[in-house]
Amino acid sequence: MISETQKRYIIWQNRAFQFYLAARLLYKNEQYSPAAFCSIQALESLMKGTLVYWDKSFNPKAANHSIASMLRTIKNKVKNYNAFVCPTYFYEDQRFQLVTRYPANGKGVLIPGSFLNDLDTAFSNLIMLVPFQFNSRLKHALSGKKKTDLNILRHKNNQVRALRKYLNVRLTK
Domain count, the chain: 1
- The residue segments making up the domain with residue 126 are 4-167
Is there a domain that residue 48 lies in? Answer: yes
Is 136 a domain residue? yes
**pLDDT at res. 104:** 73
pLDDT digit string, tens, across residues 86-103: 999 999 888 898 888 887
Task: Using only the alpha carbons of the chain, give its radius of gyration.
Answer: 16
In the predicted structure, residue 159 carries a pLDDT above the cut 90? yes
DSSP string of 113-147, one letter each residue: TTHHHHHHHHHHHHHTT-S---S-HHHHHHHTSSH
Residue 154 lies in a domain: yes
Position 107 pLDDT exceeds 80: no
Q: How many Å apart are CA 74 and CA 60, to the nearest integer?
A: 13
CATH code at position 47: 1.20.120
Question: Which residues are within 8 A (CB) of 102 and not within 5 positions of it... i.e. 6 or more apart?
Answer: none
Q: What is the mean pLDDT of residues 71-91?
A: 92
Residues 38-60 have pLDDT tens digits of 999 999 999 999 999 999 999 99
Query: Would you say the C-alpha torsion 73, 74, 76, 78 has a positive or negative sign?
Result: positive
Assess contact for 34 and 26: CB atoms under 8 A.
Answer: yes
pTM tops 0.75, yes or no = yes
